[in-house]
A and B are shown apart, each in its own frame.
Chain A
Amino acid sequence: MTPTQPPASPNDESALQAVIARARSGDVEAFNVLVERFQRAAFVVALRMLGDRDLAEDVTQDAVLSAFRHIKQFRGGSFRVWLLRIVTNQCLDYWRAQQRRPSVSLDVLLAPATEETGGEAARNDAALIDPAWDPTMLAERHELQAFIERALLALPEDQRLAVVLCDVEGLSYDEIAEVTRTNVGTVKSRLARGRARLRDLLLRHPELLPRAYRHDSRGDQPRVPRKPE
């Protein structure tokens, strides 16, 4: 298993800068050290953006190759952010070239709620306000993850990228702004809209949440969240 985390200590950072300097001089082995360190982040971002493992592997490989060829253009800062920018650019190039996006129809995502479990959705909305409710326990559920994976692909590209970089990869707002070449305000807006859209889709699928977390057993009245005006 390769290291997956960016440098955490000053010594580690200085060692990383030394490796980057060697890689900039054309040292393939030094560059491979960087690849080992950041390839997981690059691949995960590509995978969650594209929704296809084979394609994500090729796009990540292309990004790594492009990074090696253009490493002299790296002007310092976070190498991870620089590499992720190349990965996201590769994803965007792929979409533009294909003239299509790996989107999932919202109708498919919404169908179960409107046809079969629409009434239960409202009860589950109330379940989400249970103070004892722990979202991390539900997050481990395979069905829920699979749904969020599909719902991600239904987001517009900019929102999806912000959500993936922040919530999946754990980048800060400033780092996301650097990757996407926008400002922090735009990042906040895209992130909020992306998360809210995913939440609204999730709330229409109460079957993904176990009954232990459903609030109807307490006899409370169902409440349907409303968006602020």
Chain B
Amino acid sequence: MKPNENVMNHLSDELLSERLDGLLDVAAQERVDAHLAECADCAARYAGLRQVQATLRALRQVEDIPDFRLNAQGRPRRLRLRPESSRPSRGYVFARMASVAVLVGGVLLLFVAIITGAGSLTLTSHESAANYSNAAPASQSYPGCTTMHCPAVGTPLPGNNDGAVKTPTMVPTPVGGQSNTTFAPLKPPAPFPSPLAEFGLGMLLALGGLIAFLGFGRRERST
């Protein structure tokens, strides 16, 4: 390696670091030393590394090393300088995450309960009414009422083109000699679990998760 090349191509910090630790082979060390003798920039960088290493070695000297031996029961002899809770354990982190999961699950359940509850209301108050509105007189009752009038006994209700009667049981009962028919109460299949139960469970989970989350957060802040 020519002198000019030595100066032009600066040494990498990794090479200088290895030179500092004496890990280069003889040939490589000679080349590095020759470069350092000619290149002031690399020499300054190398000298800086020497200063850093020398100072770091001085940091090894620490006074008053505590006694970390254990007692006969295998427990520390010395008292903690910081409360245990200041160092969150893995169990603590897991509990915090679990509380978040419960909170999120409860909120999702609330949403589901609200959506299913609204859908149930829509079905009973609007869709059923639409199905029967063409045939039923103004005085008829809709699902949930005790009687219902229909102009054709045992035939599909108008407006229900697929021929299927939505009521689970249809019991024709003549009323006052008229052609109207009284049906048994229409009971739409109740969703399970009911929206009310879902709502209650969701509220319970959300509140529990929120309290647990806030409780853990308060414990963390207190430390």
Residues of A within 8 A of B (CB): 2, 28, 31-32, 35-36, 39-40, 42-44, 47-48, 54-55, 57-58, 60-62, 64-65, 68-69, 93-94, 97-98, 125-126, 128-130, 133, 135-136, 138-140, 144-145, 148-149, 152, 163-164, 166-170, 173, 188-189, 191-193, 195-196, 198-200, 202-203, 223-229
Contact = CB atoms under 8 A, between A and B. Distances in A.
Considering residues A65, A135, A203, which has the most beta carbons from chain B within 10 angstroms of its beta carbon? A135
Given A58-B81, A58-B82, A68-B74, A42 B68 contact: yes
B121 interface: no
A28 B65 contact: no
Contacts of A170: 57, 60
Contacts of A148: 52, 55-56, 59
A57 B60 CA distance: 16
B68 A168 contact: no
Nearest to A55: B82
B129 interface: no
Given A139-B55, A163-B56, A203-B48, 14 more contacts: A36-B69, A40-B65, A58-B81, A58-B87, A148-B52, A168-B60, A173-B21, A192-B16, A193-B13, A195-B49, A196-B45, A228-B13, A228-B42, A229-B10
B54 A199 contact: no
Interface in B1-57: 9-14, 16-18, 20-21, 23, 40-45, 47-57
A173 B93 CA distance: 34
A169 B56 CA distance: 9
A93 B21 CA distance: 31
11 contacts: A44-B59, A55-B81, A57-B66, A58-B82, A61-B66, A125-B44, A129-B47, A136-B54, A192-B13, A226-B41, A228-B13
A223 B81 CA distance: 48
A117 to B, nearest CB: 16
Contacts of A225: 41-42, 44-45, 48
B69 A140 contact: no
A93 B91 CA distance: 12
- Where chain A touches its partner, the secondary structure class is helix
Contact of A68 (B12, B18, B59, B70): B70
A202 B59 contact: no
A171 to B, nearest CB: 11
Contacts of A64: 68, 70, 76
Interface residues of B, number: 55
B70 to A, nearest CB: 6
Nearest to B48: A199
Given A43-B65, A60-B68, A145 B55 contact: yes
A35 B58 contact: no
B62 interface: yes
B78 interface: yes
B68 A129 contact: no
B72 interface: yes
Which of B21, B42, B65 counts the most A-chain CB atoms under 10 A from its CB? B65
B216 to A, nearest CB: 13
A170 B67 CA distance: 22
Contacts of A125: 44, 48
B80 interface: yes
Contacts of B191: none
Contacts of A55: 81-82
Contact of A65 (B52, B55, B70): B70
A203 B48 CA distance: 7
Contact of B57 (A54, A167, A193, A228): A167
